[in-house]
Structure 1
Amino acid sequence: MSETNLEKYQNPEKYDELYEHYQDDYLYIMEYARHINRPIIDLACGTGRVTIPLSKKGLTMIGVDLHAGMLDRAKQKATQEQLDIRFEQQDCSNLDLGVQSPLIFMTGNSFQHFLTNESQDALFESVKKHLASGGGFIFDTRNPILAELSAGDVSEERYLNSNNQTVIEKHTEEYDHHSQILHCTTETIIQEREQSIQQSTESIALRYTYPLELKRLLATHGFEWINIHGSWKKTVFEESSPQMIVHCKIG
C-alpha cells in the first residue's frame, strides 16, 4: 500500500461521521470471530470502526494501519472506551507483528489500495506469515462491473455544512483498462454568500481485480478458497453484485 494514495483519509473525524453507523462488515466478521480466544488482526483498521466493537465483545484485537492520523483517532476512541487494543502503524504488505492469528480481516475495500501485482503478492505473503495453521483471511473488494467502469463518471453534489456554508463537491472518475485502476478526483469548494472561501482537491486510485484473478492469486499463495459473497449480508455473488466478500484460509 502506498503512502501517496491516502489523501481521502486526511480527516479521520469526517470518515467516522460518514461510516460510524455501518455495521454489515462487523456483523459478518463477528460471526466467525466470536469464539476465538487468541489475537485477531484487523488490517487497514482506520479509526477502529470494526476493531473497537469487536474488542468491546471481549475479543483480543490488533489493529494495523499505515495512516498515523487514522490510528491516532482509533487510539483516542479506544482510550475513551477503556479498551486494551494493540494498534500498530505498519504497511500491511510487510507486517512484523510477532504473532500468528486464527483470523485476519480487512474491510472497507482496502484491498483496492494494493495497485500492482507485486503489492498484492506481498500482501498475501504478509498475511500468510501471520496466520496460524488453518487460519482464515476475510476481505472485500468492489466488483469490477465493466460497463460502469468504462463509462466513467462526472457528478456534483451540494449541501450545507455545520457552519451553514454551501459545500460543492465535484467528482470525476476515469478507469484505466491497462492497469485496472480507477482514478477518482474530488474538488471541494466552500462558499459563503455565493463567494468561494476555500477550495481543495483530493484524489485516490483504486485497483479492480476480477474473480478468476482472485482465485488464481489465492491459489498461488497457498490459500484455499472458502466462499465469495456479493455483499457482507452474504447475498449470492452475481454479475451485478457491488462487492466481492472473499473468505479463504491457509492450509
Structure 2
Amino acid sequence: MKEIFENNFEKYENPEKYDEIYGNYQDDLLYLIEYVSGIEKPIIELACGTGRLTIPMAKRGLNMVGIDLHAGMLSRAKQKATHEQLNIIFEQQDCTELDLAYKSPLIFMTGNSFQHFLTNESQNALLHSVKKHLLPNGQFIFDTRNPNLAELSVYGEFEESHLNNDNQTVFEKHFEEYNHVTQILYCVTQTEISENEQLIHTESDSISLRFVYPMELHRLLDSHGFELINLYGSWKKDTFIKDSISMIVHCRLK
C-alpha cells in the first residue's frame, strides 16, 4: 500500500515549513504524557513526522520509537534528535505493514494521520499492523477529524494569511471538494509569499483525507479486537458531540 501514501505526500515536502506551522502545538503531547508514566518498554509513534512528539517524550526519559514513511520528515526528525543528544529509534516503514522486532504497551498516531488511510482495506491493514505490535491489553491512541456535514459541502473555498518566521506575508487560497460516496475530501492549496509587497514565491499542493463516522469507527475498532476506552471531542478531553472538530480515540486490545 506504500504507493497510496507516497502519492499523498505533497503537504510534507518541506519539513522545515511543517515545523514552522505545527511545531508549537502541544495539546496532544499533554494528553499523552498523562498515560505514559512508568512505561519502560518502547512506546511507538506512527507517522511521527519530524519528531514533534517523539523528541519531547524522549527528553522525559521515555523509550521512544518513531515510524514514518516519508524519508524527508524522518531525516529532519533524526537531525533534531541528534542535536538534542537523544537516542531515539527512527524507522522508515509503512504503518500498514509494520515489521518491528518488539511489541509495545502503547502505540499512538496524531495529527489526524488516520485520515491518510483512504480505503477500507488500508484502515483494516493499519489496525491489523497495530494489533500485531501491541502487548496484551496494549493501548492505541489516535485522532481523526469529525465529519461535520455542515462543513463538508460538495465544493468550497476560503482564504487566509499570516506572517512566517522570516516576517514574510504568506497568503493561502484553499479549494476543497468532498465526495460523499468515498468520504474523501480533496484539498488544494495555492500559496503566495510576499516580502515588502513584492511576490517572491508561489507554490501549490494537494492532499486527500478520508473521513470516518462515529458508529463506523466503533464497528471498525470492534471488528479488529479493540475496545474503546474514551472518545473525546478534543485533546483537552472535551465531551464528544456532533459539532466537535475532532474525534480523539483511546482504545485498547480486548
Matched position secondary structure for 1:26: helix
**Cα distance in 2, alignment partners of residues 166 and 23 from structure 1:** 25
Q: CA RMSD in A?
A: 1.6
CA separation of 1:83 and 1:172: change in aligned 2, threshold 3 A: same
**Cα distance in 2, alignment partners of residues 27 and 166 from structure 1:** 31
- Structure 1's unaligned 5+ residue stretches are none
Match of 1:223 in 2: 226
Match of 1:141 in 2: 144
Matched position secondary structure for 2:34: helix
**Cα distance in 1, alignment partners of residues 129 and 146 from structure 2:** 24
Give 1:23 deviation, angstroms: 0.8
**Cα distance in 2, alignment partners of residues 32 and 160 from structure 1:** 36
Is 1:181 matched with 2:184? Answer: yes
CA separation of 1:129 and 1:200: change in aligned 2, threshold 3 A: same
Q: In the TM superposition, what whole-angstrom CA distance separates every residue of 1:175-198 from its partner, at most 9, and x where no partner exists?
A: 110100011100123356766553
Between 1:114-123 and 1:8-17, the stretch displaced more is 8-17
Match of 2:22 among 13, 19, 23: 19
Scaled by the length of structure 2, the TM-score of the pair is: 0.94
Matched position secondary structure for 1:147: coil
Match of 1:127 in 2: 130
CA separation of 1:151 and 1:129: change in aligned 2, threshold 3 A: same
CA separation of 1:194 and 1:80: change in aligned 2, threshold 3 A: closer
Give 1:199 deviation, angstroms: 2.6
CA separation of 1:198 and 1:105: change in aligned 2, threshold 3 A: same
Match of 2:102 among 99, 103, 128: 99
Match of 1:155 in 2: 158
CA separation of 1:136 and 1:81: change in aligned 2, threshold 3 A: same
Percent identity of the aligned residues? 65
Q: What is the aligned residue count?
A: 251
Q: In the TM superposition, what whole-angstrom CA distance separates every residue of 1:83-137 from its partner, at most 9, and x where no partner exists?
A: 0000000110110011110000000000000000000000000000000000000
Give 1:158 deviation, angstroms: 3.8
- Structure 2's unaligned 5+ residue stretches are none
Give 1:161 deviation, angstroms: 4.9
